[in-house]
Amino acid sequence: MESKLLLKRKDFQSPDFCPTIPSIELSKVTYLTGANGSGKTRWLKQIDSKLYAEDNISTLYIDKRAIGDLNANPLYPTGNEDLWVELQNNPYLSEWRQIAVRIFQERKIANADAIIDDQSFNPWSESQDPNVESARTEYVKAIDNTTRTIMRGTSNFERFGPRFLKIAQAQGKFVHLLRTEDLDRSGPPTNLAEIYNNYIKSYFHHSDENYRKGEKDIDSLQKTFLAANTPPWKLFDDALEELSCDLDADTYRFRISSPNLSEIAPKDSEVRFTPTILNEDGSSLGWDELSSGEQAMITVLTMLVGHAASNNSCHYKLILLDEVDASFHPDWCKKFGSLIEFFSERHEAHFIVATHSVATLAHARSSDYLLFEKKERKYKYQFVDRDKAIHFLSGGLFQLAPLVTYVQGEKGEDFIVISEGHNYRILRKFLNLENIKGVAVTDAEIHTTSHTQLKSIYRVFSAFEAGPTTLFVVDPDVNISDWPPEENRTFVHRLDPSTDKSAASGIESAFPRSTFEQSKISPNSKRKFAQWIERNGTKKDFVSFSTLKAKILDIQQRVQGETNSLNAG
């Protein structure tokens, strides 16, 4: 019979912005899901901060923001240790301040007046949440006082970021855009153009079996990848095989990680692991040569092994995984679930796994599913079945991995909002758009095409091994003033079909990268060009927006069928 873990909360008095669960009984594996801001991470941190009491229990909290840099993990602080302990033990301290302290300790970014972290909640968003209000107040105060601070943005940085950048620019501030998974190691940028370049650069980041993260040329927005000689599948399988053996804390040597990293030591333990990333030829690979998905996998596996070896005396081991699968290739999610279930049985450990991945939930078995929601400014939770959890995550449309979200457009039609950068390439494969150079938007489509749509579509095409792809904008009246600075606007082309020879000849090759000047286009010329686009929309050179939209609506049905098949199995 499965052993249950009963967690009883010590203090029932909790601020409204923290989810209050007085007591809860957990199975071996509990999947935790819900919308952003629903309180998942805050609840996990309450557990990790020992607000829930249980005799002889050890907790291990692995945060998605620690993935990609083991030395930045909260378990291994390198700054002011007393300050760090104080922060970690205060569950009500605003998260953005904790992250700021960690970044300034670990990265020592001394020249930036502010840091934007594009991973978490946004102080500018409209909210009555006291925590958000406090963060916004302190943030604005910090900007006014020219002190170093941090703005934690969402993936909607383009919506809120310009407001902050205008304030910063007006006050002569230097701002550093930081993505924890893809850090600019050359130091803080010195102008707003470079900040925006860094932002766009983040969309050239993938987690794929055939590519590894390489250096990015910010100026040209080109990307290169190192050859992948060691399949991530093999790394994962080998680690899974190793975990099936009895661990010898004195001699166990994990196979994968980097000699550039310091030794990995479980908290309060003398057990140390010095992993090594090996190529097929036996040579070592650097940590930065791995994709974010590989880094996440290695970080999680290494810390699980260390925790198991150093806490064998504890009756209960509770492992909290906070969206660590965010960068996983979708095909890894099945093995990830298998690893968790196997590990929980082998080492008598309980897992609470926070995830936004439909693929992870679709392959989960014999688990509880806890759904967090925020209704009427109050946090609520409920146990649900797997199908309801998947339905909630997919918004009723069964997005996979997730790949794409459909939201209602201004004029009633659905339009597309692409999710994380590492999924763009997967979306291209699903849509069979690997060889298409760009997307053309005609005047007939402009009236139902918002800037958000255009930028979202651009990101789909920019995430491609050949480098950035042009977004062809036909209508000269499209307002793109809020796009990147003029000197970086190499991907936006204002076309005059009556004069542009490339367009007139059928777009035989990619358009030059220079920006077309805005010019008058007669309605008759635009109509002819629109007709030409529709006739040639299936060619490999480019695709019209209407054709692309039709393809995505078609893939929606295919994804729904595949997800239904997974559920039935």
Last residue of a domain, one of 179, 208, 235: 179
The two beta strands, 439-441 and 471-473, are parallel
Compute CA distances 473 → 449, 457, 539, 544, whole Å: 11, 12, 18, 10
pLDDT of residue 412: 29
Is there a single domain that holds both residue 413 and residue 461?
yes
Q: Are 115 and 103 in contact (CB under 8 A)?
A: yes
In a domain, 100, yes or no: yes
Alpha carbon distance 409, 414 (integer Å): 5
Peptide bond into 130 cis (omega under 30): no
Is there a single domain that holds both residue 309 and residue 291?
yes
What pTM, to 2 d.p., does this model score? 0.45
In a domain, 207, yes or no: no
Residue 300's domain is classified under what CATH number?
Answer: 3.40.50.300
Compute CA distances 565 → 52, 482, 559, whole Å: 39, 43, 10
Is there a single domain that holds both residue 336 and residue 371?
yes
**Closest Cα to residue 196, out of 482, 544, 530, 507?**
482
**Closest Cα to residue 567, out of 369, 349, 350, 374?**
369
pLDDT of residue 198: 39
Per-residue tokens: 334? 């099945």
In a domain, 443, yes or no: yes
Per-residue tokens: 64? 């998605």
How many CA atoms, within 13 angstroms, populate the side-chain half-sphere of residue 383? 9
Is there a single domain that holds both residue 458 and residue 494?
yes
3-state class of 468 per DSSP?
coil
In a domain, 399, yes or no: no
The two beta strands, 175-178 and 114-117, are parallel
In a domain, 205, yes or no: no
Is there a single domain that holds both residue 409 and residue 517?
yes
The predicted-structure confidence for 62-110, as pLDDT tens digits, reads as follows 876 555 433 332 222 222 222 222 223 333 223 333 333 333 333 333 3
Is there a single domain that holds both residue 140 and residue 279?
no
Last residue of a domain, one of 123, 150, 179: 179
Query: Exposed, middle or buried, 160 (CB in 10 Å: 0-12/13-18/19+)?
Result: middle
Last residue of a domain, one of 343, 364, 393: 393
> In sequence order, what E strands does 327-398 have?
349-354, 368-375, 378-384
Q: Is the pLDDT of residue 441 over 50?
A: yes
Angle formed by the axes of helices 232-243 and 292-310, nearest 10°: 10
Is there a single domain that holds both residue 410 and residue 516?
yes
506 confidence band (pLDDT: 50, 70, 90): very low
Q: Is the pLDDT of residue 156 over 50?
A: no
3-state class of 436 per DSSP?
coil
Is there a single domain that holds both residue 288 and residue 152?
no
The two beta strands, 149-152 and 114-117, are parallel
In a domain, 202, yes or no: no
545 vs 373, residue with greater confidence: 373
Q: Select the highest-mean-pLDDT range: 342-346, 405-409, 464-468.
A: 342-346
3-state class of 55 per DSSP?
coil
Alpha carbon distance 420, 538 (integer Å): 27
Query: Exposed, middle or buried, 377 (CB in 10 Å: 0-12/13-18/19+)?
Result: exposed
Q: Select the highest-mean-pLDDT range: 229-243, 299-313, 504-518.
A: 299-313
Beta bridge partners of 223: 216
The predicted-structure confidence for 415-437, as pLDDT tens digits, reads as follows 333 333 334 444 454 455 555 55
Of the candidate ranges 215-219, 244-248, 465-469, the one whose mean pLDDT is the lowest: 215-219
> In sequence order, what E strands does 419-462 have?
439-441
Is there a single domain that holds both residue 277 and residue 349?
yes
Q: Are 403 and 460 in contact (CB under 8 A)?
A: no
295 confidence band (pLDDT: 50, 70, 90): low
328 confidence band (pLDDT: 50, 70, 90): low
Is there a single domain that holds both residue 83 and residue 34?
no
In a domain, 200, yes or no: no
In a domain, 222, yes or no: no
Q: Are 330 and 336 in contact (CB under 8 A)?
A: no
- Round the average pLDDT of the chain to a whole number and report it: 50
Number of domains composing the chain = 3
Q: Is the pLDDT of residue 25 over 80?
A: yes
Is there a single domain that holds both residue 81 and residue 62?
no
Is there a single domain that holds both residue 268 and residue 254?
yes
Q: Is the dihedral of CA 441, 444, 450, 456 positive or negative?
A: negative
Q: Are 304 and 343 in contact (CB under 8 A)?
A: yes
Range of the domain at 509: 404-557
pLDDT of residue 356: 75
